[in-house]
Structure 1
Amino acid sequence: MDEKKFLADEFEANRAHLKTVAYRMLGSRAEAEDAVQEAWLRLGRSNTSEVGNLGGWLTTVVARICLDMLRSRKSRREEQLDPPVHEKIADTAKSADPEREIVLADSVGVALLVVLEQLAPAERVAFVLHDMFDLPFDEIAPVIGRTPEATRQLASRARRRVQGTTEAPEAGIEHKKEVVRAFLAASRDGNFQALLAVLHPDVVFAPDATAARFGHAGALHGAQAVATTFNGRARGALPAFVDGGFGFIVRIQDQLRIVVKIGFDGEKIATIEAIADPDHIERIEYRLFDR
């Protein structure tokens, strides 16, 4: 069979699934169509001769496209061209096909889409791919640029919000800065109890392979294990904003060697991701806290 025809047939066979994935992430039919069309264009430009599961490959491509669109949407802070998803689905009387809209509302869930709109892009992608489409965290992690453990934590946080689980109030910027400073001070001073005080009970520590070689442990889960690992460390760490979030950096002989991203659940540190791979570090933006 001609390769182009084979790819076209496979794409058409997966189109409905891809549109569902994109719609669940974006909450907009128009944007979902755009994402699927972009996936088709990327398929035409890619060498897929060694791809064993084309459907899985396409799902990953669509997820990456949706993540980029969500991040762009958030950065622009503009209203979507489509009306809010709950308004679109509810207003079936104006639809060209009201029956189809009702079916769509039943399958997607108005309340779910409204809640998904409140999630951060990476949370949304991790939750949708894992909880709705059963992709393993090992496959989701490269899509959002996180480790599998950090991805698991993002999905867990998103799941709690979707399920309406009560969480601690989100801390403000100044408070989070103080928590990061308190974490570093407790780490330097070897104050185990002070470390426990700022860590979420289910905190996840996830170093990349290079950071692990610098003497960190592998991936860890739980406040006791993470506090033990950081107890007496962080002597040269400087608190910083990292990729728009919070964290700290470590310089060795005036060279940036480790960047750590810190994620919060309420007022507690919930994720600690250590990055030491030089190529990855080059792509990270950071700014030290004001003294």
Structure 2
Amino acid sequence: MRGTSRASLAGAEERWEPVLAAAGAQSSVLGEQLFALVDALDSSGSLRRTLADPSIDGDAKAGLVARLLQAADPRVVEVAQGLVRSRWSADEDLTEATEHLAFHAVLATAEADDSLARVEEEIFRFSRALTGQREVRRTLFDTAVPREARVKLVEDILAGRATPVTTALATRLAAAPRGRRYVPALGHLSDLIAARRQRQVATVSTATPLTDAQRGRLTEILERAYGSVVQLNVVLDPHVIGGLRVQVGPQVVDATVLARLADARRRLAS
């Protein structure tokens, strides 16, 4: 999102968070209703353009949203009306913002029952389990596969092994890929959870397990570098021949032997 959209989303988040705090365990219901609005915006370009058009009166757009969401919770209607009254750099940003608030509503349910850390761990483990499952990943991303089949695949994989919040989020990503590949979409959820927990998540790829002392030292280094609490998610990868590959959000610190060899080859070639 560009500046105008980011500012509008920040304002919407500021208004939404007190609502979620008051709703507690019922926040997931609010999230599902916002997801329905996301689906409506995705399915109708004309609706999306109308609701994001800054030249159209805000009250008129708010009235249209109220009619669209006439069966929804009043709190959902109010936040949606706030979204359409705001300014957006692109009409797709309105949809992204609506989905963003919906994800946070579902996550707030886990926050209310103190299971957010467990959800974070389950999403990470699910993401890693899919790494070697190319056909499964392709199916979950392929909109030619019926929506119900994609959702059932996720439900079958997670059956009895995940919290309701994790299952709800994972099935939502399968039901509405929205042009995103499945594993990166799970990574985006991890980033949202980290933000709610006010921490950074560092995914560390290494050929051998880290000792407690190594984990502690690496955590200390990263926390000093990023100025915030850092959670390490360690992935064993036999292709990492010595060293570490550390990813924090979009940033990658690659200190593996392979990376150094590649750098040496580039130097020789130049």
| Structure of higher RCO (CA pairs closer than 8 Å, 6+ residues apart) | 2
TM tier relative to shorter chain:
0.3 to 0.5
TM-score w.r.t. the length of structure 2 is 0.34
